[in-house]
Structures are given as structure tokens and as C-alpha cells.
Structure 1
């Protein structure tokens, strides 16, 4: 199954977006044969589609927007990422700049729109508070979140810890309803440290970025959530928290006056 009309695009009319409930519907069905794929860019979609079309005896659900999105991985990188199910994107994080064994915060994402918002959040943290150790984890195979003894694609305890640690707070931007991720994480170390942002049935005919704002999954919401978990009173982090709040107010005024997203949102690319 390939879903391309998603909940994060509703800029034409009230019928142009679909709720992500099919993800929730397939997760509990024959977990040994169901796979849910959330490729973040075109190359990962090619890698996933190649795998799915070759597979037999499985139900594969691929969820990807038909709109234009940034490209993050080469095709060989995309194939390796799809085979792993989830990976640390070291180029996007800043944890190497710290001396701590674990990062201060983990930003996780699953889905094309959540990935873009997460990378934009990571860029804000890198620019404003480079002393924070930020790890970025992308999940392409949703069933990888399950323990290995629950699903053939489930991550082992060691592999899960290598991605998410056992104790660091995780801000997780997810394509669908947040409850799906919480359901899959049950039994993992301190599952309550996962703070999932996803679709919460908010939106109308509006701009693409306003959809993520209304559902509280924008880059600014993700940064605020992260800072609330690691806030140390430093001037840099306090200033960034204030900047994010101000940007949400500015966004709200701008789209009502101009009927399109802020220029820095429309032009954003990972730099």
C-alpha cells in the first residue's frame, strides 16, 4: 500500500488531506508480516520500494508525500538506512562537540515532513546553542521500534540503546498519531522519556507550515520541547526559547496577511 495524500498537506481544499489512521490500523495485525515504512526523501523511497516489490508474504505500508521535499541521502546511504530501519544522522547532530558520553537531548523523526522539521530544529539548536549535545535519529522502518522478539525487524536492546540511549529525553516528531509510537515503545527503557509530537486532528485549508504549527510539531515546537528538557538558564538557550515563541506569533500574523508561509520557511534547506 502506498499512501501519498497525507495529513500534512491541506493547502487546496478540505478534502485534500487524509488522516493517518491506517498506520494505527495495520500495526496490531499479524505483526510478523506487517511493515510500516516512512521514507524521508526520494532515495529512501526508491530503496524501500525496491525492497517491498521484491518481498513476498508481507503487508508493506509506504507513507510518503507527493510534494517536493529536500534530498538528504545518496542512494547507497538510503539503502543502508532502509536496511538498518533507523540510524543516527551524525551529520545533523552536535553531540561530537561535547565531552559527554551521551547527548543532552535526542531529536528523533519518522516521516518526510517530521524529518524536515526535526532537521530545521537541529539547525536552530546548532546555531543558537552549539554547546548542547544533540543527536538526530531518523526512523524509516516503524516496526524497528518494537523489541526484536516481537517483530522480525525489531531492534535488539543493544541496538535500541545505541540509538536512543537508556536515559536521555527524546523529542520524537512523527508522521501519524502520537499514540502509535507510544504503543510500539512499550517495554523499552524508561519509555516515558519519549515526548512524541504528531498529528492531533488540527488543521483547516491553510499553508503547509501552518499544518505543523497547528498540530504543535513545527521546528519551533520541537526546539521548545527540547529546551524544556535541558534548559540550564544559559543566555543562549533562553534567547532561543524566546525566539521560537516569537516566530510562532510572527508566523500566525504573516500567513493571514500574505496567504503563504514565511520566506525563511519556504526557502529553508539543510545547510
Structure 2
């Protein structure tokens, strides 16, 4: 026992010179050392305490190791991280059996904390990338339209024309209801009349033919007239038919 304590006292003396502010002697066989990562990383604080408890057969056996959080502002260990660090320290201790190993354990703890921070940053980046990808895919799905095909366009066109017709009919009905009785009657009479084009087509005179028109029951050779003159003659016949129909209605 005396030899064991002498070995510890000698090691503690060395540790106090190396870690004057970090070392805290808890008992004759237990110390706590403040450990922080080798390099400070902004936004990722992680300073903890390494607790070493020495068994009587030390240094021929591995001491009992543990990690304790010091303060929330100095960082907190996440699930499984403390066990992972202790596992790595035990490997170092196994390689150092038979000699003073506390300094080596404290150095290995610093390296392990640095590795923890790197692993955290990698995971955080992967999570950020996954969230960004999910967001972009969701936004793309919102803006992605249905591929236009002839069938899809025709279906849309028919639905649109039907909606447009219904809307016009509704607007016209509302307009007519707002009129007085006489005005509503005039509207109904006008709607009941055939248009000039309808009269023209009913008389079996083609609205697009450039070969002939009929006047007083006789065929007229239109080939001797210009296109403009033929058009005027055709639409003049239509207007005349419309006027005659309106005169007969007035009578």
C-alpha cells in the first residue's frame, strides 16, 4: 500500500505542475482534471472533467475512468458520447500499463473531444443538407405542372369554354333582370330574331363563295368583279335581308 501511495503521490506532484489550474485532487486516490478540445470551435463548446480513480494495483491495472459535465455553457455531452470517449481512453490505458498514465489519458481525452466536435459538425451538415433537399423537393413538387398532351389540353379547353359560356349567360341574365319591363321585352325580341348571317345561310347563299350571287332570282357572274366588290355585294345582301326582317317585325 505504501508503495502504491508513493507512486500516486509522485504522479500527482507531476500532474500539479502540468495542470496547475485544471487538476483537482478529490481524495488520496482520485483526481479530477478539466479537459477541453485541442482546438476551440465557435458554436461548439465542449469542456468536461475527466475523473480518474486509482485501484491499489495501479499502474499494473487500468484506473476507473469517467467524464463529468462542468457547466451547460461549457458544453454538454450527447447520448453515447461519454461512453465512446471512455472506450478510447481505456485503449490508451491498456497500452500504458506498468507506468504512470494519467497525463497520457488527459491528452487522449483532449483529442477525443476534438474528434467528437468534428463528428457533430459532420452530422449537423448532413441533417441540414437533408432538410434542404426535402424542402427543395417539396417546393419543386408544388410548382411542377401536369405535362400538356392533346387530350389534356382538349379536356381543359372544353371545361374552360363551358365555364366561360355559363359565366356570360349568368351575367346577361343578371343584366336583363336589372332592366325595366319594356327593355326586357325588347331584349327578348332581339334574341328571338335570326341574325343577318343566319338569314343569309338559310337562303342557301354561301357566305364564302366567290363564284356567283343571286339577285332577283337571276344568277350573277361574279368573276367580272374584284374580290372587294364581291364582298360588298355579299354583305350588302345580308344587311338588306336583316332590314326586311326587322320591318316585318315592326308591322
- TM-score bin, normalised by smaller chain: under 0.3
TM-score by length of 1: 0.23
**Structure in which a larger fraction of residues adopt helix:** 2
